[in-house]
């Protein structure tokens, strides 16, 4: 019985030694590398959160644009065909929105120019529509749109700050950098 216990113990030690040696040969991340990977993931998540916040605020701007057009449509003197046309243009511009994968100077300028033109067209349509002063919620909505458009620039700066930190960390690993608006 004692021999059986010794044999079992020897076998267990042998298995333990064999498996621990096998693990020792596996590539373990270096202490600094694990920290760098965690930092990299943290910075990438921060950049994604900033990007998502920017898009959320931009979506809110477009919803406000639709609300402004809806307010215009309540006025019987409004050009309903123009309201519908601008609503369709809003949908078309949203389909042209840049993504983190395709943002470049051309797509960014095109999107911004089209968005500004839409805001101006809504404003011009309201000015050309008699009695818009009776529709008190229109002007606050337009103010929301202008503020959201300005806020977009700050959202882009916040994203840029996060993307630059991430890019600085990964430059030595030659990984794909995140786009930075200021560099476009």
Cα 66 to Cα 63: distance, rounded to the nearest angstrom:
5
Digitized pLDDT (tens) for each residue of the chain, 184 residues in all:
444 344 343 444 334 333 444 444 444 445 555 657 888 899 999 999 999 999 999 999 999 999 999 999 999 999 999 999 999 999 999 999 999 989 999 999 999 999 999 999 999 999 999 988 887 889 999 999 999 999 999 999 999 999 999 998 887 666 778 888 888 7
Structure tokens at 18: 């064999």
Nearest to 53 by CA among 123, 137, 156: 156
Indicate the pTM of the whole model.
0.76
Cα 43 to Cα 55: distance, rounded to the nearest angstrom:
18
For the chain, the domains span: 46-183
Q: How far is CA 149 from each of CA 17, 102, 116, 146, 178, rounded to the nearest angstrom?
A: 65, 21, 9, 5, 23
Nearest to 51 by CA among 176, 155, 145: 155
CATH for 46-183? 1.20.1440
Residue 175 region by backbone torsions, left for phi larger than 0, else alpha for psi between -120 and 50, else beta: beta
């Amino acid at each position: 019985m004692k021999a059986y216990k010794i044999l079992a113990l020897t076998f267990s030690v042998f298995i333990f030694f064999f498996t621990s040696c096998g693990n020792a040969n596996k590539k373990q991340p270096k202490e600094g590398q694990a920290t760098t990977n965690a930092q990299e993931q943290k910075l990438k998540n921060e950049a994604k959160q900033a990007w998502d916040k920017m898009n959320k605020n931009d979506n809110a701007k477009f919803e406000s644009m639709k609300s402004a057009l809806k307010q215009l449509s309540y006025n019987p003197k409004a050009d309903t065909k123009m309201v519908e046309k601008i609503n369709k243009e809003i949908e078309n511009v949203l389909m042209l929105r840049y993504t983190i994968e395709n943002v470049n100077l051309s797509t960014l300028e095109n999107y911004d120019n089209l968005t500004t033109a839409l805001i101006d067209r809504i404003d011009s349509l309201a000015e050309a529509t008699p009695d818009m002063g009776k529709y008190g919620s229109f002007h606050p909505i337009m103010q929301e749109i202008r503020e959201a458009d300005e806020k977009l620039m700050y959202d882009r700066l916040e994203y840029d700050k996060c993307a630059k930190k991430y890019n600085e960390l990964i430059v030595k690993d030659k990984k794909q950098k995140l786009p930075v608006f200021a560099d476009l």
